[in-house]
Structure 1
C-alpha cells in the first residue's frame, strides 16, 4: 500500500490562493497540483475563514513557539491536553474543512485519533476518487443545454432523454451531475431546494406585488458555466422592473463569498433595493447574505420549493446568456470567461433590444425611470 502524500501548509496556501484567483477550474487545479478536487474546496474555504485572523489585534502577529518549547509543552501536559488543544483549533470549522486540516505528521495524535476526535470516518480521509472525466463534462454540457429547453425535466426524464440520444447512462449518474450543476426541475415536490442545515427560510414577497419602479425589487441567482476543461459558477443580480443586470461575479467554487461581493457592488453603485428575491440555496440562506441585507433594511424574499416561475426573469437571463454567449465559446481560463461575460452583459444592458421593454435596452429604461421617480436628484450613471 503506497504511503499517503502529505502536504505542507505552504503548499495548501499556494493551492488555495490559486483557487481564489479563479483563473482555472477546480478540475484544472487538481490536475496541475496532483490533488483531489475536494481538497481544493476545503483549503479555499479554510483560507477564507481564517483570513480575518491575520488582522486581529491591530495586525500583530501571534507569538510563535519553537520546536523545543513544543516538546516541553507535550512533555508537561500529555496527550490529553494536546487532544483538547487540537479540538479547540479544529472543531469550530465545518466538517469538510476539518477533514482537509487533519495533520498526518502530528507529533502526538495519530490520524485515527484525530479522525475520532473530529467525528470523521478514517476511511473517508484516505479516500481519493478521480475528478470529473471528459465524458462527464460533455454530459454536463448536454444536460445544461437540455435543461434550458425543458426545465421541468427531472432525473428520470433527463436520463430517458440522454438514452434516446444514444448515451449509455443510469439515473444515479444523472442525479449526481445535476446536483453538481445545481439544477432542480420546476415541478412541486418535497425538499427540492433545501438550504444548509439551520438556515432560515424567508417567505416569498413578490406574489401579487406590482413592481413599478427601479430598485423596488432585485433578484439574484447562480448558474453553471461549462468550460473547455471543467466548469465555473456565475451569480448575477438583476433589477426586477427593468431587467438590468446590476452586478455579477464568477467563481470556481460555491461558497457564499462571491455572491456577497456581487451584492456589495450592486449596492455601492445603485443603493439598496426594497426587496431582494432569491431561491432557497445555501448561499442565499447563509448568515453572511441575510445579515448584510437586514443591516441595510432590505426585505428578504425567497422562492417557494420548486417554483422556477418565482424568479422567472433571472431564469430567462440565463437562457439568453448561454445561447448568445456561453455556448458560442470554449473558454480556457477564468479571465477569458470573465471577459466574455463582461462584454455580453455590457451589450445586454446598453444595446440589446428587450421585448418586454418595447425594444429598448434595460439600462436605458432603468435610468429613464430613475429620472422620472427622482427628478430633483443627481444620480451618477453606471453602465
Structure 2
C-alpha cells in the first residue's frame, strides 16, 4: 500500500510540473480509476479556525493604508485632548471623523487593549433588588398569584396582541387579565389593582399575597417596583430564576390550555373579535370549566365551597 501511495505522490509531482496525466499514470503503472479515487478521497488539510489574520492596517476613505502603529498614535493624541473622557466606542467615532479612517469599534477595542488603556468596566447596579422565588405552602386563596404574558395572533390584520394573565394557585381562578396591542407596566399594574379590589385584598389574613413573575422587562421596571412598594402591606413581589418556567407552572399551564382550547379553535379576523372571544373563554374557565385538581369543580364553585367550610380535605400546595 505504501508503494502505491509513493507512486501516486510521484505522479502528482510530475502532473503538477506539466506532464500529461495519462502518460504519467501509464508510465508508473497506475490505473486512472485508482488515481482519481485516491485523489477524491484524500482528506483535506484542517482549516485554520482561528479567524483571518490581522492585516495590521486600516484604510482611509481615499483608500490609503494607515498602519496600526499610526492608529495608536492617533488614539494617544485623542486621549491627550478633550476626547480623553471617551471609551473605545466613541474613540472609534472620533477616528472616523477626524482622521477619515474606515475602522470599526472591535478593532479600536483590540488596539486599546494592546495599549493597556481600557477603563475598567462599570459595575451594573440593580436599582430594584430581585426577591428570588422560594417554596411556599399554599393553604388558601390569595396567598400566591402567578403572572405571565402571552401573545395572540390576528389573522385578518396579520398582527399580534398581548395577553397578561394572573392566576390564583389555590383555586385556579384567573383573577386578572389584560388585553392590548402593547403591554406596558402601567397596564399590568392597573390590571393588578383591579384584581386586588375584586378579591378583597387586603384581608384579615396575616399572610401577605405573593405575586410571582418571570424576569420580563415589565416586571423588572421601575414602575412595577414602585407599585409593589406602594402596596407592600398587601403583597410581596418575587421573580423566578432565569430559564426556569417550572416555577411559574400554573400560569404556564393555563396559557397552554388557552392556546389549545381557544386560540387554536378560532381564527381571529379583528381585535374586537379576539378580545370578546378571550373574555368569553375566561368566563367559561372561571365559572363552568371543571378541573380535576379541584375535585371536578369549577374554580368559582370550589372557592365558594371552600370559604363556606365545605371543603377541608384539600392538601396544601407546595409551590
Cα deviation code 1:241-278 (max 9, x no counterpart)? 11100110111123212211211110110133621111
Partner residue of 2:189?
260
Answer yes or no: is 1:328 the counterpart of 2:237. no
Partner residue of 1:127?
none
Cα deviation code 1:174-229 (max 9, x no counterpart)? xxxxxxxxxxxxxxxxxxxxxx995535233342x210100011111000112202
Alignment of 1:288-307 (within 5 A): 288-296=223-231, 297=233, 298-307=235-244
Structure 1: gaps of 5 or more residues: 1-195, 374-383
The one of 280, 286, 299 equivalent to 2:221 is 286
Partner residue of 1:274?
209
CA contact (8 A) 1:216 1:274 kept: yes
SS of 1:234's equivalent in the other structure is: strand
CA contact (8 A) 1:243 1:362 kept: yes
Partner residue of 1:114?
none
Shift of the 202–319 alpha-carbon distance from structure 1 to 2, 3 Å rule, reads same
Shift of the 346–287 alpha-carbon distance from structure 1 to 2, 3 Å rule, reads same
Hey, which of these two has a bigger chunk of strand by percent?
Answer: 2
SS of 2:138's equivalent in the other structure is: coil
TM-score, normalising length from structure 2?
0.52
Alignment of 1:105-124 (within 5 A): none
Alignment of 1:228-377 (within 5 A): 228=155, 229-272=158-201, 274-296=209-231, 297=233, 298-372=235-309
* Shift of residue 371, structure 1, vs aligned partner: 3.7
Which one has a bigger Cα radius of gyration?
2
SS of 1:290's equivalent in the other structure is: helix
CA contact (8 A) 1:250 1:258 kept: no
Alignment of 1:1-383 (within 5 A): 198=126, 200-207=128-135, 209-228=136-155, 229-272=158-201, 274-296=209-231, 297=233, 298-372=235-309
The alignment covers a number of residue pairs equal to 178
TM-score, normalising length from structure 1?
0.44
Hey, which of these two has a bigger chunk of helix by percent?
Answer: 1
SS of 2:307's equivalent in the other structure is: helix
* Shift of residue 293, structure 1, vs aligned partner: 2.2
Question: RMSD across aligned C-alpha pairs, in angstroms?
Answer: 2.2
